[in-house]
Each structure stands twice: as structure tokens, then as C-alpha cells.
Chain A
Amino acid sequence: MDFNELLTGSLQQALGPTAVVYCLAAIGLNIHFGYTGLLNFGQAGFMMVAGYAMVTMSTIWGQSLWLGVLVGVILTVILALMLGVPTLRLRADYLAIVTIAAAEIIRQVISAAKFSDDLGGQDGLTGFIKPFRKMNPFDEPVGIDGVVMWSPNDFWVMTVGWLLVVAACLITWLLMRSPWGRVLKSIREDEDAVRSLGKNVYAYKMQSLIIGGLFGALAGFVVALRSATVGPSFFATDVTFFAYTVLLIGGAARVLGPVAGAVIFWFLITVLDIAFGQMTAGADPIIPASIMDSTQASLMRLIFMGLGLMLLMIYRPQGIFGDRRELAIDGR
């Protein structure tokens, strides 16, 4: 086994653009689930609407990416309102089912062959990245020689992405120490008590849904910038589940939980991926091909992830940094 490749590849992913995407998505879920106790299983839907809004403003109407970002933000707010009106009065499990259904509706409609002229169908859209890459100040690979390296484009996305993460964490921290944030936390603890104090629980939940959705939108923008393309496969249902895993590893209801979670999650996932890849590659692999071939090796990380999520939730639901008393996992 090549441990150098193992370490290099894992570090590259742990700090790379993909970790940024899941970190931002998980920060949004932290507002929803960690602080307010809302089970939003449709974060991928928020990401998709925002990502496609930014890209289509450029590909269909020839506008700048900045305007695309603005439209994406507006559409995300509208989506949050549309989702919130029917579901926020319902119990947590109803909200989970409706949001997951809504995300699937969005994905199937956007990827439909009927709209493929404008939205690219299953193949997605490309050809919007130039203005973003023109602003790139890096023209050589960046990193620590011999340990980890990123291409200039990746490093540029990372720079923008981690700055967004810093901003998002700062906003979350400020929001949650304000009186507004304390109301959110009390809604998580006891909705009826908050209601009896004369607070409009429904309005607070709606605001939480919108703000968390906006962090999801940021994740959607970074997805598009990372891959220089948007496609329906980037926003599958599993994306939301991965983001939840990221949040739960780091610890829900902690400002830096999603950041730690994203780095650790992508480090471990890539270690597993590369390790099993190496063990099955070559003419005389360590694991014989009759037990595991290279296609099966690529599934091992997801198998471990599923198992990991179960064990995490059973034995340490508060994650690494969380506080068990601050988790909305016991209620209905």
C-alpha cells in the first residue's frame, strides 16, 4: 500500500472544494436541525435551485454570475416560503417526508427531457465558468510540496468557499447568541412553552427555514463553481443524507460542528476509497478479485458510511463537539 498517496489524496479532499460544499450545506442544516429542531431532508433541493439559478442566468440570458447569485438567493427564499407554509405546522416526521418529496420533485422537473433545451436534462449545463476563472489570482498549483497540492482552479474555489464558510460561521454565531437565536433554541426544547410566552413559533420556524436554506444555496453555488457544471446527479437525495452525516459527526448545535464534520468526513471517506482502491488494483491485488473487484471497492466507502451513521447515531448522537442535552433527537 502506498501510504503517501493515501495521506495526500485524503488531505486534498478533506480541505478541498467538495468538503466546502458539504460544510456549507451542513451549516444550513445546523440552523434547521441543530438549533430549531426542524428535520429538513430537502437541503439538496435548496442547493439545486440556487445552483441552477446562477448557471441559467448566465447560459440562457447571458447575464453575469453576480446577477445569477442574486436570483438564486431570491428563488431560495421563495422555495423556503413555499415549503414552510404547508409543513411547519406539522410534526417533525411529516416535515421530513414533505421536504424530501419536494427536493425530489425539483430534481425530476429540472432534469426532465422536456426542458433539456434550456436546463440540459440529465447531462446538466456547462459554459458559465469563464468569468469566475478570470478573477482567479492563482496561476500555479498551490500547496505544500510533497504533502498536498491543488490545481489553481480548485484552490481558487477553495479560497472563495472557505471564506464563505468563515462568514457563515460568523453569522451563525452572531445569530445564535442574539435573543432571536435563543427563541429558536427554546422552540427546539419546548415549542408549546415558547408559544405560551406569546412568541409566534410559526414565524420563527419560517425564518429559520429561510436562513438555513440560504446557506444551502451557497453550497449550491459552490457545487457549480467547483465542477464548472451543474447536473441533477449532484443534487440526489443522498446529498442531503451526507450533509446530515457531516453535521452529526462534528456535532449539531455547535457553530464549528459542520466545519470539523466536513473535514473529518471527507478525510475518512477518501482514506477508505483510496485504501480499498489500492487493495484491489493491479495484477496481484491484496484482496483477490473473487472477493472484491474495483467496482465493488468503490462501494465500500458508502457501506462504511451507512454503518458509521448508524453507529454514530446510536452511541454518540452529539458527535465530536456536541452536547447531548442540546439535541432535538428525542422528540416526535
Chain B
Amino acid sequence: MAIALRRGATATTALVLLGAVLAALLTVMAGSPAHAAETRCALVKPTDDDTISILGRICDRREKPPVAVPGVRVTVEDEAGEELGEATSSEDGTFVIDLPGTSIEHLGKSYTVVLDESTLPEGTKPEITSRTIDINLDNDQTVIFPIGDAGPAKPSKFTEALQLMVGGLVFSVLLAMAALGLSMIFGTTGLTNFAHGELITFGALVAFFIDRLPGRIEVGGTEITVIVGVLGAFLVGGVFGWLNDTALWRPLRRRGTGLVAMMIVSIGLSLFLRNIYQYFAGAQTRNYSQYGAVEPWEIGDILLTPKELTVILLGVAVLVLTTSLLQFTRLGKATRAVADNPGLASATGINVERVIGTVWIGGAALAALAGALLGVTQGFDFQLGFRILLLVFAATVLGGLGTIWGAIVGAFVIGLFTELSTLFVDPEFKFVGALLLLIVILLIRPQGLLGKAQRIG
């Protein structure tokens, strides 16, 4: 959004502000593991050799700070259940298991780390007794086994709901960023862009590419490679949006291609880009080098990881900024005017094509940012965007296609509904519930929650 604004001090300030917020919030993510290392339950240092080691620590979380649990036997099994190695946790709770053979042999495989419950001290119970890890990198892998009180301590429905709210909020803000772009592009050009999911995946891929560049990017001793990656995704995503519009959509608009034809073109583009991504990035699920496993904070009964908080705060900041830009700047007003009535906007002297170009840059940058942050929170593969595309559509249609606030409201409804519905139904049906909600809303209010009541038949 912001990078396209050429005139006006507001816009420049906004860009600087956005960058500052992004950097500051993301540093929170980097800061916290360093803090954890000071507690008595030490973090293991990765070994610097050719083999892959499974590193881990076993901590008793009832004490604050957590206390190490020594003398616990841990084994590593491969997919067939064959034992590959074992170790016993030392005084500081850590254990190291070297996988036999070179690192190349293990890439792409998945191993299960199992805790031997009989070797635990009496009266304690592990919250998790086994963890499955996929070896995607030739780095060492870290696992953590928190130990708590014995006996079942099932959280109440209320706590569970609060916990799900956290995940729901994270998903909602990311969905809102993606939906805002889709909705603005629809509003100004009338295009239902089925390739919007690929703009999301593009962001995750750019961040991944920057992350994989040799060397680390540091500021004052803190590694910020992934932060730079996320920022890079935002910027390169905007460029990609500009490219999309200039190379494909603007010429099509000039030719007077129909909207349904453009919709089908976007399906072709989606198929094309998705397979290009798979061509270069492969089919496996990827993770960034940082923030893979961060220690969550406990607030009451709720677990909140620093990266979740960061994503929520950053997302809200971005949304507030974007909507303020649309609400208060000249260009924002022009954008809304074009969305309302392109012909009239053009007649009043607004450069419609420039507005549309800006919307494409901004919308794609937001989608790419959402993609990169989705990659940080849950990992990604080449289908990331395509998989959530329907939910993005659901959010925009639910709120009212083409409206700015509608996209945000719709995203929060869909995002929270998806997570909270798992209280009552199986998690595997959570997307089904959200899509059903979409159909039900369309039955009652075809123009969407915030859409103008006009004939859309």
C-alpha cells in the first residue's frame, strides 16, 4: 500500500512507521529464546558437524524458572519403528542423540522422539511423550519435553475457548490482510482473482528465499534474517502485484475483456504459478530457520508464544494503517471513489488506471506479508495460498465483496469461527464449518454483512 504513494507527507510517515512497527515487533520474537537460556533448564547448543543430531531438554514446568529433569531415557525411532539411537538426560536436562550416517541420508525423512515414561521421577507426567520431527534442513533438530503434574488436568471449556481465540486471532489478522487485497482489487476492477492465493504463497517463498541466502543478517548481535525476509516479502510482493497488473490485467482491461473471461484467465494464472512454485520450491512443507520452536509464555492458563503475539500486533497495526490510508489520504479517497463508481471517478479527474495500479501493488504486498507470516507461524508449501483461497473468498463475500471494512469483519468472523468451532466439532471439519457459514449468510444477506443492499441478481 504505502510504497506506491508518491505524494504527501502522510504517506511517507506511514511507510516509515510501518517499517518501524514491523522491525520492533519482530525483534520481540528474536529476543525471547536468549532469555530462556538464562534459566537453569539450559538450552542445548547445536553441534557444528556434518551429522544431524537430535537435541533436546526435559524441563519441569511446575517450578519457575523451570527445573531440569535428569536421568530420563529418550529414544529416536524411524518411520518403521526401528530404534536409531538413545540417550539419557544429563544434570541440566539436556540430551543429544546423533543420527547415524551423513546428513544427506536423513533429509526428507521423519523421526519420532519418544520419552521413556518409566524413567521419570515419581508423581510427574510429561505433557507429551513423543514428538515426530521432519528433517528438512541439514541442521540439528531441537525438541522440548515439558513435564508437569501427574493426573489428568483437562482445561475447562472456557480456558479452551480462550486458547483457541489466540490461534483464531492470529489466523484472522492474516486472513484479513489477504482479504483486504482481494476485496480492493475486486472493488476497483471487478476482477474475481482466483490467483490471489498465489500472491500469498509468493510472499512465503520470497521470505524463504531470503532466509536461505548464505550468511546471517545481524543487528547488534541479534539475528534478524527472517525479519528481513518478511519485510522483503512485503516489498517484493508489491512489485509482483505491479507486474501482474502491468503485464497481464491492464492490457486485458484495455482490450475490454469481459469479467467472466478475466476470471477464467485468473484460474489459468493460478494453475500456472502454483506449478511454477512447485517446480522451484518442491512439494515438501518448509520452515524458516528461526522461530521454529519458541518457548510459549503462560498467561493464566493460556499459552501464548511471542511470535503469535507479534503476528497479532503487527497484523492489527498493518490493518489500522491500511484502513487509515484508505480513509484519510487523497489516494485512499480516490480508491474508494473508483470502487464506488469508476466512470464517475474518472469524470471527476481521478486517474483510474493509476489508482488501480496502486491497489494492485498494495493488495499484493499485503497478501505477500500475510503469506510470509503464515509461513512463520505454521510453515508453508507451494499450495499454502491455494488452500486458504476459499477462506479468503469466504471472508470477502461474507463481509460484502468490494468493501474495505467488510473484508476485515468477514476475515475475523471466518478466522475466529474456524478455530472456535473445534470446541464442538472435529478439527478436520473446521474449514467445512466456515464454508457452510458463508453459504448460510448468502442465503440471509446476499450482499454480505456490510455490503450495500442492491440488486446483485
Contact = CB atoms under 8 A, between A and B. Distances in A.
Contacts of A101: 390, 393-394, 435, 438-439
B275 interface: yes
Contact of A94 (B268, B278, B446): B446
Contacts of A135: none
B409 to A, nearest CB: 17
A300 to B, nearest CB: 8
Nearest to B269: A310
B261 A313 contact: yes
Interface in A52-86: 85-86
A256 to B, nearest CB: 21
Interface in A92-126: 92-94, 96-98, 100-102, 104-105, 108-109, 112-114
A204 interface: no
B287 interface: no
B267 A108 contact: no
Considering the complex of A and B, which 4 residue pairs feature the smallest CB-CB distances, nearest first? A306-B272, A309-B268, A330-B258, A306-B271
Question: For this complex, into which size category does the number of interface residues on chain B fall?
Answer: 35 or more
B432 A299 contact: no
* Interface SS of B by simple majority: helix
Contacts of A310: 248, 265, 268-269, 272
A244 B267 contact: yes
11 contacts: A89-B446, A90-B446, A91-B456, A97-B394, A101-B438, A112-B426, A241-B271, A248-B264, A306-B272, A311-B268, A329-B261
A85 B265 CA distance: 28
B442 interface: yes
A311 B265 CA distance: 8
Interface of B: 190, 192, 248, 252, 255, 257-261, 263-265, 267-276, 278-279, 283, 390, 393-394, 397, 401, 426, 428-429, 431-432, 435-436, 438-439, 442-443, 446, 456-457
Contacts of A105: 432, 435-436
A128 B24 CA distance: 61
A302 interface: yes
Given A101-B393, A104-B390, A112-B429, A330 B272 contact: no
Interface centre among A89, A312, A314 (most CB of B within 10 A): A314
Contacts of A245: 268
A100 B269 CA distance: 17
A302 B390 CA distance: 21
A241 B268 CA distance: 8
Contact of B264 (A87, A296, A309): A309
Interface string A289-332: 00000011001001101111111111001000000000011111
Contacts of A329: 258, 260-261, 264
B263 A302 contact: no
B95 to A, nearest CB: 33
A14 interface: no
Contact of B268 (A85, A98, A308): A308
Contact of A113 (B401, B428, B446): B428
A39 interface: yes
B70 to A, nearest CB: 39
Contacts of A314: 252, 255, 257, 261, 265
A299 B281 CA distance: 12
A317 B261 contact: yes
A204 to B, nearest CB: 14
A112 B432 CA distance: 11
A190 interface: no
A43 B236 CA distance: 36
